[in-house]
Amino acid sequence: MSPRILSGNTVRDSRLVELIKKFSEITPTPELAIIQVGDRPDSAAYIKAKISFAQKVGVVAHHIYLPENASQEDIVIEIKKCNENKLIKGVIVQLPLPAHIDRDVVINTIDPHKDIDGQTAFNMQCLREGRPDAIVPATARGIRELLSYYNIDINNKKVTVVGRSALVGTPVAQVFARYRAVVTVAHSKTIDLMKETSSANVIIVAVGKPRLISTEHVRSGQVIVDVGITREGEVGLDTKTKLVGDVDFDKVSKVIGSTGAITPVPGGVGPMTVLGLFENLLDACK
């Protein structure tokens, strides 16, 4: 039998009415700035989803576009303008940035109180220290709320996080440790990765390698959260493009069975990241 599907779309939509109400009670209307550098199709798709959700909840979203060859100083200037604008309560720099840009310099220009993706050094330190005022990175917050919605208990459960990025893997591990999970952090080159994943109650995968996790990595009854998303196929050819995750969904689903649970790609973690951003924005308005 098929596993339970952990739909991020369902959770996001269930919170929509509440978010609309809460944002409507804030005056003046909160504004959000999204800074994009370059023309990556995946970045454009993510930004489109954020702007669409902003419109639904009644938030004014500013899409600030800079060309691929924009200088680091150009980006810093735009961020500083957003920092100084009192109507703008949240600032997002869409990642990844072009190779000639120092990510840390750019991200740490954001006012930590407007850093609704929780990526500044200040907020990352707050998260490491377990401070209650820490802004939890949106994907980590979204995953935690996704499991909570589906009543998946992580207290004293083994959680294996595959991926060590500052954007997803590291903050996810920190957040789940705070909720008393027994967390192991692995990566695609971990020796005996199969042992680390198959022994876990919950596997969270954020590597960016299509179908990295397959049947040999899992067992019956596990909860699988797939953060990865890759577009396969080439636009303009007969082969249609398809979004796939870091987990071989069809094969893994058969192994974890009806007692297991898994996120789809798309429609799983992606919508929860958007939800996490706007919940962080709401917190920033307080």
Residues identified as active-site: 50, 94, 117
Q: Which burial class, exposed, middle or buried, applies to 156 when counting CB atoms under 10 A from its CB (0-12, 13-18, 19+)? A: exposed
d(CA 39, CA 65): 9
Q: How is residue 274 written in tokens?
A: 């958007």
Q: Which amino acid belongs to residue 15?
A: R
Question: Are 116 and 122 in contact, with CB atoms under 8 Å apart?
Answer: no
Question: Are 59 and 29 in contact, with CB atoms under 8 Å apart?
Answer: yes
Q: What is the dihedral of CA 45, 46, 47, 50, to 10 degrees?
A: 120
d(CA 80, CA 33): 11
